[in-house]
Amino acid sequence: MSVEDLLSSLSGNRVVYYALYGALLFGVLKLTILGLSFGSMIFGLFILPPVNFKKYGAKQGKWAVVTGASDGIGKEYAFQLAKKGLNIVLVSRTQSKLELIATEIESKYKVQTKIVAFDASTDDDANYISLRNVVSELPITVLVNNVGQSHSIPVPFLETDEKELNDIITINNTATLKITQVVAPLIVSTIKKEKKKVRGLILTMGSFGGLLPTPYLATYSGSKAFLQAWSNALAGELKPQGVDVELVISYLVTSAMSKIRRTSATIPNPKQFVAATLRGVGRRNGAQERFATNTPYWSHAIMHFAIANTVGVYSKVANSLNFSMHQAIRKRALKKAERLAAEKKD
C-alpha cells in the first residue's frame, strides 16, 4: 500500500490523518535539514578556498598573540600565522624556548616577534602586568588562546590530586579569561582605529573532552565545556565590534599533552591540525549545531557530526562508551607505571 493509499484510508479519522501527515512533513523537514547540514560540512571542509588572512591584518603590520607557544599546537600557530604575514607575540612559560622560536620565526618569515615568559599555573598578577607591558602599544588583531593542561592519566574525580585539579582550572579557565581581558580590548581598539577595514580574531582551543562529558577526565572535561559557553557568549558580545570569536574543537593530536606520537586518519600532527584550523576560520565544519564553533580537521568534523546527529553528545550511550574507553586507558597507564617502577628497582 502506498503512502497516498494509507492516508486516504485514514481520511475518515481526521485526528489520525493530520497526525500522520504532520509526522511525515516533520520527517521530510528533518531529513532535509540533515542533508543540508552534511552538505555544508563537506563544502566547508573540502571545496571552499582557504580564508584570506588579509582581513585579519596579515602583511599590514598587525600582530597576533599566541599562548602556549613554545611547543606543539601553539608553536605551530605561531609559525603558520607568521608565514601569513602577522607579527607574533609568543607567550609561554620557558624563556629560553621562546627566544629560540622567536629567532627562527624572524629569520624564516621576516616578521617581528616579542616574547612574554608566563607561567599560567601560578595566577600571579605579575604575569598579566608583564603581558600588558609588552602588548599595550601594539596593533593586535589576532589572539590564540592555546595554553592548556589535562590530567597526567585518566583518573576518577574523587581521586584527583588537588594540585592537578587547581592547575587545570587555573590554566584552562582563569588564565585564558584574564589573558583575553588584557588582549581583547587592544584588538577592539585596533579595529576602531582601522575603521573596520580589518577584522579581529580570537581563537580558543576546545576539545572533544568538552564536547562530550568524559568520565575519568571530569575536571578537564568540565574546564573545556566552560570554554565552550564562555567563548560563544564572547562571540555574541564582540561580533558588532568587528571581532570574530571562535571555539576550536579537536579530537586527539600528536603532542606532549596527549602523549601520542604516531599520526593516523583521526590523529593529525600539530602542523596538519593548525593548517586545517586557519584554512577554515569562520566555518563550523563538524560543529554544525553550534554557534561560533569550528571542528576543523576533516576526520574530527565527521566524528563530531556523526555523534551529534545519532546518539547525541550528552547521551547515556556516549557517556558509557567514554567511561569504558578511559577506564581501559587508566588501567594500561597504571600497569605501565608499575612496570617502570619495577624496572627502576632492578
| Cβ atoms within 10 Å, residue 112 | 16
pLDDT for residue 111 is more than 90: yes
Res. 285: pLDDT tops 60: yes
Lowest mean pLDDT among 10-19, 21-30, 119-128, 177-186: 10-19
pLDDT of the residue at 140: 98
Instruction: Taking the CA atoms of 227, 230, 235 and 241 in sequence, report the sign of the dihedral they define.
Output: negative
pLDDT digits (tens, 9 = 90+) for 162-201: 999 999 999 999 999 999 999 999 999 999 999 999 999 9
In the chain, the amino acid numbered 76 is E
- DSSP codes joined into one string, 211-268: HS--TT-HHHHHHHHHHHHHHHHHHHHHGGGTEEEEEE-----SBTTTTB----SS--
pLDDT band at 15 (very low <50, low <70, confident <90, very high): confident
pLDDT at 42 over 80: yes
For residues 132 and 129, what is the distance between their CA atoms, to the nearest angstrom? 5
| pLDDT more than 70, % of the chain | 95
Cα three-residue angle 311-317-318, rounded to 5 degrees: 75
123: Cα separation from own chain's centroid: 22
Q: What is the pLDDT of residues 46-85, one digit of tens each?
A: 999 999 999 999 999 999 999 999 999 999 999 999 999 9
144: confidence class by pLDDT, cuts 50, 70, 90: very high
Question: Could you give all domains of the chain from N- to C-terminal order, each with its CATH number?
Answer: 47-331 (3.40.50.720)
Q: Kindly tell me if the per-residue pLDDT of 37 is higher than 80.
A: yes
- pLDDT of residue 133 exceeding 60, the answer is yes
pLDDT confidence of residue 261 = 87
User: Is 145 in a helix, a strand, or coil?
Assistant: strand
Residue 138 CB contacts under 8 Å (≥ 6 apart), including other chains? 63, 87, 89, 114, 186
Cα-Cα-Cα-Cα torsion 294, 179, 275, 44, nearest 10 degrees, comes to 20
Residues annotated as binding site for substrate? 207
Residue of 109, 220, 251, 297 marked catalytic: 220
Q: Can you give the length of the chain in residues? A: 346
Binding-site residues, in ranges, read 207
For 96-105, 186-195, 266-275, 337-346, which range has the lowest pLDDT when averaged over its residues? 337-346
**Span 2-30, average pLDDT:** 71
SS3 for 150? Answer: coil
Burial string for 57-95 (b: 16+ CB within 10 Å, else e) reads bbeeebbbbbbbbbbbbbbbbbbbbbebbbbbbbbbbee
The region, left, alpha or beta by phi > 0 then psi within -120 to 50, assigned to residue 259 is: left
* Region 94-108 average pLDDT: 97
Helix spans in the chain (H): 3-9, 14-42, 72-83, 95-109, 125-135, 162-169, 176-193, 208-211, 218-238, 270-279, 298-308, 316-345
Measured CA distances, 97 to 178, 278, 344 (Å): 23, 24, 30
Does residue 128 have an active-site annotation? Answer: no
